[in-house]
Structure 1
Amino acid sequence: MADLALYLGHAVLGYIVGYFVRAKKDKLEWRGKVSTIAITVMVFSMGMRMGANDEVIENLGSIGLYSLLITVIIFSFCIGATSLTRRALGLDSLGYLKSQGINSHVEASHEEHFITEAETENAEDKEKKFDSMTIMVIMAVLLGGLIAYFLSQGTISDFQKFDHIMGLMITIGLCILLFFVGLDMGLEGTVIHQIKTVGFRVLVIPVAVIFGSLLGAAVCGIILPLSMKEALAIGSGLGWYSLAPGIIIDHGFVVASAISFLHNIMREVLSFVLIPIVAKKIGYIETVALPGAAAMDVCLPIVERQTRSDIAVFSFVSGLVASFLVPVLVPLVLSF
């Protein structure tokens, strides 16, 4: 619980600071670079910690297989939970209210949404940067892992001290990252207003996505050689590959952290492939369930293109809620 307070405290502090310096937003363009540095240091340290761990090295093959199975199972449960929720809300496969029929489409076209043109362009910029950011994260983890693996063959004399130093670097990276996540939200200053604008239905969808993720993770905890705590922690990552694995490894679950990292990478990458298929074969609202936290930024443009602009509202809020809850859910699960 102390870790939960630490992580959430930095995010809240960032939000407060951001809210009060909104007028100087243009002078804070450097914050993205600082976040990138924090992510790089954190995932490099994760790789170092994993590479020096014999258990991870001995189980690399099974880690990849488990990550893929967890991704497929969580996808299935998320889509199922979201689909049932959509029907319960009286929405058809295109996201319109069944009781209003075509009129709901007309109303939607005149409704004022909080996804502004600037925000859409920002999301498209993030999509363009997706490949480079993902490659950077993967390379940092691999480089850290390789360096630590070769150092562990004789150079590292005190593994406990090395592990403690890496854990400290991960914690520092997490705190910096969460502070800047909160700072970005505070600079926007419209989070609560945005959620109120679109009504209760849009808040029910992320609840369904999170429930589906946790239920799928619980099933994985039963059928895979993982403890229920590890499986639920992995599922609680909700696609945030640069944050969740760091929290998990910070609690001493090195193998689970490696699985979490690969699973969340797969969740984001496979979402690009599956969103068009899900939109066409299952339903527009269900596309929001696939990316998890990435639904608010990296995957937002493809959701909008494969559905329509008002579905992007569901995507943005779902990703926003997921991003807010990851630093709460993961340490909460690991505290039991």
Structure 2
Amino acid sequence: VAKGEKDGHIYGRNTNPTVQILEEKIALLEDAESATAFSSGMAAVSNTLFANLNPGDRVIVGKDTYGGTSKIFLEFLPQFDIDIAFCDTTDINAFEKEMNSKCNLLYLETPTNPTLKIQDIKTLSNIAKQTGSLVVVDNTLATPINQNPLMMGADIVIHSATKFLCGHSDALGGLVCGDKKNVEKIYHFREINGSCLDPSPAYMILRGIKTLALRMERHNENALKLTEWLSKHNKISAVFYPGFSDHPGYDIAKEQMRGFGGVLSFLIKDELSISKFISSLQFAHAAAHLGSVETIVGPSKTTSHVENTPEERSQLGIPENLVRCSVGIEHIDDIIQDFDQALNKI
């Protein structure tokens, strides 16, 4: 077994039967040849990047990437002489200009967290592949129920399994999917640095996956209904949700997604009233989390991008008055009633 001549498990940091079942299931859901699991979503992101980049490489990153991920690009990779270019990848012309320079890896989220921008996976992948770039897509917000980036040209798909895959706010985990060659390279890096997934959270995530399709159907439905209601409220200046017909990425989302996910964000006109709004919520939870069965609300500056400075948030296109909402599977009337009474108090 140790020499790879037989299948089996001899050391928990390398492989585990419960974790292996989880890896096999996510590979099936993403139509991938292989998958490997990590102790968290950020472990999956960082291992993927460090396993595939070398000094002198150049990375193009979608501009409004999740705050924790952006810190890897802003703070850590430059220490290893890796050049980072943040780009509005929803602007194909701007992206093509960036691709005129060297690009070893393209990193995308779609929908993005927390601005819910939509990336044209097929078009961006086709352009990136012309220069031999590796294409990595974080599919956490969409989930494999709503979207499969590998089928549209991506090389590697990442999930924070802590979120919708688990679905109950009680386990941490991360997953990477792709062809066998790409996954084995990342697995070997994980094997040495030790960021493996424990079997207990793997079991909890497997439990969550059993109801994933049912939950996502309700998340999708509730998020659209809440978006429509918020868009008409006089204390909200904008709502961002890819399933809303006014969303600039709506047409692309319709082409590459089967459902639009359970996360939306919105701008409250008076930034100073955000705290009052959130503290007035009685049904929804105030937390730095998403993807659970409960509705969860929080300002992006203290949740998704709390690790970023105000200057970095501005650079990444994250407004200070942006509020993220992970819409749960509760009855939509209860959610709307709670938002209504909280907004009426500001």
Q: What is the TM-score of this pair, normalised by structure 1? A: 0.30
Q: What is the TM-score of this pair, normalised by structure 2? A: 0.30
Between Structure 1 and Structure 2, the one with more helix by share is: 1
